[in-house]
Structure 1
C-alpha cells in the first residue's frame, strides 16, 4: 500500500515500521563500514541522483546503496571459515565500471592482491614529489547527513529501510548476486571466481564470457587461482603495456585450439608473476633499486 493512500493511523504505523528497520540497519556493521568509506571520500550527500549530478564532490543515495551492497557481498565471502579478512573493498583508480547503472567505482579485492598493487604504486611514485592532501570528512553521521539534506527524519528512515536488512532480503538481491558471493570461499579457485563475479558486476561482459570459458578449460585449481591473481593485478595496475587488455585481445584472436589457449594463459601467468607478483623481499629490493636510480 502506497503511503499516500493510507489513512493517518496507517501512515503513522508505517512510519514507525520504517524507523525500526532504519535503526536496525544503522546499528549493523555493514552500515557503519559504508559510512566510514563515504566519510573518507571528502564528499557530501546530495538528494540528486548520481546519473543526473555532475558534481564529483557529492554522493547520492544510489552510491550509499551500492556501497552497502558491496559490503554485504564482502561480508558473505568473509562468513566462510578462513576468509574473515580475505577481501576488502577498494576504489578503482585506473579503470572505471562499464555498467552505467552502477553508481560507485569500487571493487571487492583479495587483500593480498591489494597490498601488492599498493606496493608497486609506491615504487612507481617514489621518485615523484608527493603533495599531501587532507580529506575533510562530512561532520556527524551518515544518517544525520541524510535527514538534514532531506529535511525529514521519516524520509531518511524510509530510504534506509529499502536496504536489505535480513538474510532473506539479501538472498533476493541479484545485482550483485549476493548468494553467488557467499560461495566464493567454497570454490576450488576463489580468487578466479571472485574476479569473474566482479567483472560481470562492473560491466566487463566480453571479459566475463572469456573467463567462463577459461574456468571450463583449466582443470588445475592452482593454475586457475594464479590466473585470477594475475588478472586482478593487471586490472588494478595497468602498466604501459596494459597486460590485462592485451591478454583478452590476444586470447580471442584467430582460431586457437583448447590446448593453445591454455598454453597462452599459462604464459600470461608466468609473465605477470615474473614481473610483479614477487615476494615482499623482492619488491623491497626493486623499490630500493628504483630509489637509487632516481636520486
Structure 2
C-alpha cells in the first residue's frame, strides 16, 4: 500500500472509530462515561467493542421476523471470517473499527462468534430455562466484551483480574436484563428463568405481567443473584492496575438494583434509572480507587 493509500485508509478508520464513539454515547451512555477513565489510546478500541455489542443487542428490536434477525447475525459471522478482504465489512463503520480492533488487540475471534451465537436466543420467544442458563448467557453477552475491554487496556493486568471480570460481567448482565424487563416483555422475550418462576409459583402471573407477591419474590431472588455476583467480583479485584477501568460499569450495579427496590417500583412498567449525576459520581469514585 503506497503512502497516499495508507493515509486515506487511516483517515477512513479514524472516521469509523468516531462513528463508534457517537453510536456508543447514544446507545449506552454509562459505558461511554466509563470509557473516559480509560487510557486515551485505548478509548477508540473500547468504543468499537461497545458499539458492536450495542448493535448486536438491538437486532431483535430492528426486525419483524426471527429469520431476518438470523440473516443479520449471519452477515456478522461471514464478515468475521472474511474480515481481511471483505469490502462489505469495510463499508460498515462499526464492523470496520471492530475488526481493526480485533487485529490490533489480539481479541479471539472465536469469542466474538460465541457472542453472536448466544444472541440467537434473543430472536425467539422461547423461555430461558434456568438461572444457570441465564448466567451463562450473561457471561457470553456482557462478560466477554468486558474482558475484551480489559485486554485492550492492559492484557497482563486483565489476566490478573480474570475472576473479577467474569463475576462483574455476570452481575452487570443480570442487572441489565432486570432493567430491560418491560422492553423484553413488550417484544415477547422471556428472559426470566423458568425454574426460578416455577420455584416461586410466579410463572402465570409473570406471563400476564402482574406485579404480585410471587413475582416480587422471584425478581428479588434474581436481584439477589446479581448482588451476590457483584459482591464476589468486588472482593476478587486484584490491585489497582489499569485494566480495572474495564470494571467501572459494574460500579453502577448497586444504584440500579436500589432503584428496583424503591417503594412503588413496577417491574413491568418502570425503568430503573438513577439520576445521571449519581451515576457519574459513582463512576468517578470507583475510578479514584474506591473499588467497584
TM-score range, shorter chain: 0.3 to 0.5
Name the TM-score, length of structure 1 as normaliser: 0.32
Give the strand-richer structure, 1 or 2.
Answer: 1
- Which structure is higher in helix share? 2
Q: Name which one, 1 or 2, has greater alpha-carbon Rg.
A: 1
**TM-score of the superposed pair, with normalisation by structure 2:** 0.32
